Amino acid sequence: MRTISPPVGLPALNETDLVGQVARRLTEAIVQGRLPPGSKVVEAGIARELGVSRAPVREAARLLEQQGLLVANPRRGFFVRQFAADDIDEIYDLRLCVERHAAVLAARNLTPETRDKLRRQIDVLYEMADLDDPARQVEEDYRFHRLICEIAGNRRMLRLFDDLASELRMVIGLIGRLYDDPHEIARTHEPVLAAIEAGHPERIVAHIDYHLGHAWREVGRLVREIPPWPAAAK
């Protein structure tokens, strides 16, 4: 009778995770600009709107605070983070620093499978360009860079990337369309992959620098163009 637990492949279900769900909804609203930068996040309001009590809303807010999407003012509540131009600089500075390293590590760990994943992801970028879907292209762009961090194999690095990305998403959601030529953006990923395949650390760093440096300047320019911030409601 060596049958303790019959292993039937059933996916575990995680039903009520209110905190997580609230966090996701809030993030969505922020990224989509429905909660503009500087606006107050009224706990009771969100709670009522989502049909839950304030407790899970507060816990979700703490999460987003730690993630940098909200800032907490004691006794005054949570507010949607306002980004300044130098926030962009900070984020890209860190991204550059981390992604350089990630790419070098990724090259070291590269297998045929992971290489193909990167290749296919670039193809997806071309597809998005054809479909002219800027929002999804930005998302798929992140996915490419995230893949590099994933392949690098350092979970903390991956989390850091996700955190930075979620901050960037917010900014980019605000400035809307990012590039003029969506095919161009897909193309600029090619040399990065090529360098990783080649495996020369210097070349990898150089191409990452070039690629991200381009995005940095572009986003920086756009952010500076939209002076302070769009009417921080309330």
- Judged by CB under 8 A, does residue 52 bind a copy of itself? no
Which segment (16-24, 27-35, 143-151, 182-190) binds a copy of itself by CB under 8 A? 16-24
Looking at the Cβ atoms of 51 and 227, the one nearer to DNA is 51
For residue 40, the cross-strand partners are: 79
Q: Of 52, 124, 175, 232, which one interacts with DNA (CB under 7 A)?
A: 52
Q: Of 25, 40, 62, 143, which one interacts with a copy of itself (CB under 8 A)?
A: 62
The beta strand positions in 81-223, using DSSP E, are: none
125-133 contacts, C-beta under 8 A, 24 or more apart: 125/185, 125/186, 125/189, 126/183, 126/186, 128/182, 128/186, 129/182, 129/183, 129/185, 129/186, 132/182
- Judged by CB under 7 A, does residue 30 bind DNA? no
User: % helix / strand / coil in the chain, to the nearest 5?
Assistant: 70, 5, 25
- Cβ atoms within 10 Å of 230's Cβ, excluding its own: 12
Task: Identify whether the C-beta of residue 129 lies closer than 8 Å to the C-beta of residue 182.
Answer: yes
Give me the least distance between CB of 47 and DNA, in Å please.
7
Give me the least distance between CB of 77 and DNA, in Å please.
3
- Judged by CB under 7 A, does residue 75 bind DNA? yes
Looking at the Cβ atoms of 10 and 180, the one nearer to DNA is 10
Give me the least distance between CB of 32 and a copy of itself, in Å please.
23
- Judged by CB under 7 A, does residue 19 bind DNA? yes
C-alpha to C-alpha distance for 195 and 151, rounded to whole angstroms: 15
Tokens matching residue 31: 């990224």
Name 200's Cβ contacts closer than 8 Å, sequence gap at least 6.
none
Judged by the rule CB under 7 A, the positions of this chain that interact with DNA are 1-5, 16-19, 40-45, 47, 51-56, 58, 72, 74-78
What is the binding site for a copy of itself (CB under 8 A)? 14, 16-17, 19, 55, 58-59, 62-63, 66-68, 74-75, 90-91, 93-94, 97-98, 100-101, 105, 154-157, 160, 164
